[in-house]
Amino acid sequence: MPILDAITTFHDELTAIRRDIHAHPELGFQEVRTSEIVAGLLASWGIEVHRQVGGTGVVGVLRKGNGARSIGLRADMDALPILEATGLDYASQTKGVMHACGHDGHTTMQLGAARYLAEHGNFDGTVNFIFQPAEEGLGGAQAMLKDGLLSRFPCDNVFGMHNRPGLDLGRFSIGPGAMMAGGAFFDITINGRGAHGARPEECVDAVLAAASITTALQSIVARNVKPSDTAVLSVTCLEAGAAYNVIPETAVLRGTARTFKRETMQLIEDNMRRVATFIAAGFGATAEVDFRFLFAPLVNDAAESDAYADAAAALVGEDKVERNGRPVMGSEDFSFMLEACAGAYINIGNGASAPVHNDRYDFNDEALPLGAAILAQLVEMKLPKAVL
């Protein structure tokens, strides 16, 4: 029986699992219930289970035959601090926490692949099913790597997947090279001297300094980054004061930077420190910069990108596979695993849904068999049985 047909026979069960996880979302490093569901299901299918890898992470190990090759499949499990507004029967039961990025679907698709491969898998080697905590900016991938993920569970290659709203159901998109930006968050604290709003001559105006720094930061991308190197620097928050007639002593800028090269990110950080420090000093204030590099650029290995695209084409046809997808400025911490082990990351169509990180987003359950099937297809193509 073809892989997709076999997985479709338990589509209803996958849907129930996904909706249960959706209704009980957990933030990064708090995925205790989700991890137990994952571990319990893997064990029920005869897969070796390892808990608490990098905190709340789970790794399932499935071996067949005597092959020495191994492959890693990774799915993320955490939710976001968003109040859900979908009104669905299975909407979040945890106020202010929501699966608004589809990690409930990613986890379920990988579980579907695990079940199929345990029951019917035609491969020779080892599959490591990596269920990662804390993808949403909390360092889950790095935590698993620090906990010896790739030494304890060696992988020749690793592969990940993400749903994409706006990409038609049944379609896949991938590309070689840098496909997602590296990301950083920053806080700039400006300290001046407060005063009455009617007596500005007595102050060192932290708000004025903060506003000037905000404007000057835009010069970094415009005048320091090569035009051929894409970068984004956005100040997304300016906090200062609480009264109409008080010039505050402190102002705080917050924001994010995105680049496709680590060296470009370092250039932004260096120039941000220079600009903030000297502009603040020009107003008689001081500036402290906290720049946090959270995501490496996600870079697909060219050969593994082709292999993933081949698996997708075998599943849905070449006409439904985009092999040269465009890079995006969003970030993904699977990038750290790809830095440590060659692999690739693919997008699966979620249809005409709300965008991710939106309070009305929902994962499309019709994508579950397709996502599970491409992972299983990839394993069987990457770990073929020897022809005797």
pLDDT averaged per 10 residues in sequence order, the chain, 388 residues:
96 98 98 98 98 98 96 98 98 98 98 98 97 96 98 98 97 98 97 97 98 98 95 97 97 97 97 98 98 96 98 98 95 97 98 96 98 98 82
SS3 string of the chain?
A: CCHHHHHHCCHHHHHHHHHHHHHCCCCCCCCHHHHHHHHHHHHHCCCEEEEEECCCEEEEEEEECCCCCEEEEEEECCCECCCCCCCCCCCCCCCCCECCCCHHHHHHHHHHHHHHHHHHCCCCEEEEEEEECCCCCCCHHHHHHHCCHHHHCCCCEEEEEEEECCCCCCCEECCCEEEECEEEEEEEEEECECEECCCHHHCECHHHHHHHHHHHHHHHHHHCCCCCCCEEEEEEEEEECCCCCEECCEEEEEEEEEECCHHHHHHHHHHHHHHHHHHHHHCCCEEEEEEEEEECCEEECHHHHHHHHHHHHHHHCHHHEECCCCCECCCCCHHHHHHHCCEEEEEEECCCCCCCCCCCCCCCHHHHHHHHHHHHHHHHHHCCCCCC
Domains with residue ranges and CATH for the chain = 3-176+298-382 (3.40.630.10), 182-295 (3.30.70.360)
pLDDT computed for residue 265 by the predictor: 97
pLDDT of residue 388: 55
pLDDT number for residue 1: 84
Task: Look at residue 385 in the predicted model and tell me its pLDDT.
Answer: 85
